[in-house]
Amino acid sequence: MTRRILMSLYFRNELAKTRKDNKNIKTINLYNVSAEQFEIIIKYIYGGVILLKDLDEPFIFNLMLVAHELFLEEMTKFIEKHLIEEKTHWLRSQFTRIHQKSFQNNQFQNLQEWCNDYLVKYANQLFDATENFKSLQENALVSLIKRDDLQMEEVKIWNIIIKWGIAQNPNLSSSGPEKWTNENFLALKNALQNCLPHIRYFQMSGDDIIDNVEPYHKILDKNLWDDIMKRAVNPNRPVSSIIHPPRIFNTTNFTSSYD
């Protein structure tokens, strides 16, 4: 065994816990790695070389996922960078899968940023796809609504996170909030605890507050709700709650290539 194979924490751990057979050999089974993928990985481990030029995009993307599973961080980052810089059209054509996979862990942060750079312009299309929206991972939703340049009205963002939170608690969808118990509101509040701090309540109109936020105000901290109502009546009234700046809207007309 050479020193280079120890660059993979996965192999190091597997070798440490695997017993030798009667021929003094340790065997590691990689059932999820194809022969073609393994050949590239071995060349990288022993030679530090990754050749992607003649490989198709699905193979390259799956190779990145395998490299991540094997804790080959440098290889993972190299392939991720290659996809973003050289395979943008393919990433867009497979956007739903790319978005989902990139947010399943924090390893693919560059892909996460690439996805959000795209979604801030075309978020409506993600949220209008009901099934994809309901299964949206929390970290993906939070990272998007945190963006200053998300091209959506604040009241629509609020309505979206409410729908997402209800989708995580199916028993809440059988009736409107006027019939909910305190336990129902608490369930929604818990589901949205990481989303609520990023809504820009003080950028909504008084009508939007009354029509859209007020029915669910029990999921907000009392001090925040009191401040929201104060500012709805008098926009110049000082409050103790954090006031996020308005979103930055781009007046450029975007044409979507989202699939």
Q: What is the pLDDT of residues 101-130, one digit of tens each?
A: 999 988 899 999 999 999 898 887 777 765
Q: Are residues 107 and 119 in the same domain?
A: yes
Contact between 198 and 146 under an 8 Å Cβ cutoff? The reply is yes
Q: Are residues 89 and 30 in the same domain?
A: yes
The set of residues, in sequence order, having a beta carbon less than 8 Å from that of 169 and lying 6+ positions away, is 184, 187, 188, 191
Residue 162, domain member (yes or no):
yes
Going from the C-alpha of 123 to that of each of 46, 90, 127, the distances in angstroms are 43, 19, 6
Contact between 145 and 126 under an 8 Å Cβ cutoff? The reply is no
Q: Are residues 234 and 172 in the same domain?
A: yes
The predicted-structure confidence for 233-258, as pLDDT tens digits, reads as follows 888 999 999 999 999 988 654 444 44
Q: Are residues 34 and 84 in the same domain?
A: yes
Q: Are residues 43 and 143 in the same domain?
A: no
The pTM score is 0.79
**Where residue 16 sits, what CATH number does that domain have?**
3.30.710.10
Q: Are residues 198 and 88 in the same domain?
A: no
Residue 223, domain member (yes or no):
yes
Q: Are residues 76 and 200 in the same domain?
A: no
pLDDT reported for residue 258: 44
pLDDT reported for residue 126: 73
Among the candidates 130, 150, 184, a domain finishes at: 130
The predicted-structure confidence for 56-106, as pLDDT tens digits, reads as follows 999 999 999 999 988 888 899 999 999 999 999 999 999 989 999 999 988
Q: pLDDT at residue 188 above 90?
A: yes
Rounded to 10 degrees, what is the CA torsion of 227, 232, 234, 236? 70
Q: Are residues 61 and 150 in the same domain?
A: no
Q: What's the domain range around 98?
A: 1-130
Contact between 202 and 231 under an 8 Å Cβ cutoff? The reply is yes
pLDDT reported for residue 182: 95
The set of residues, in sequence order, having a beta carbon less than 8 Å from that of 181 and lying 6+ positions away, is none
Q: Are residues 208 and 120 in the same domain?
A: no
Among the candidates 130, 164, 193, a domain finishes at: 130
Q: Are residues 140 and 124 in the same domain?
A: no
Q: Are residues 143 and 103 in the same domain?
A: no
The residue written with tokens 């530090």 in the block is 48
Query: What is the rounded CA–CA span in Å between residue 43 and residue 188?
Result: 50
Q: How many domains, the chain?
A: 2
Residue 259, domain member (yes or no):
no
239: number of CA atoms within 13 Å, CB side?
22
Among the candidates 130, 155, 170, a domain finishes at: 130
Residue 254, domain member (yes or no):
no
Query: What is the rounded CA–CA span in Å between residue 222 and residue 241?
Result: 11
Determine which of 169-183, 194-208, 234-248 has the lowest per-residue pLDDT on average.
Answer: 169-183
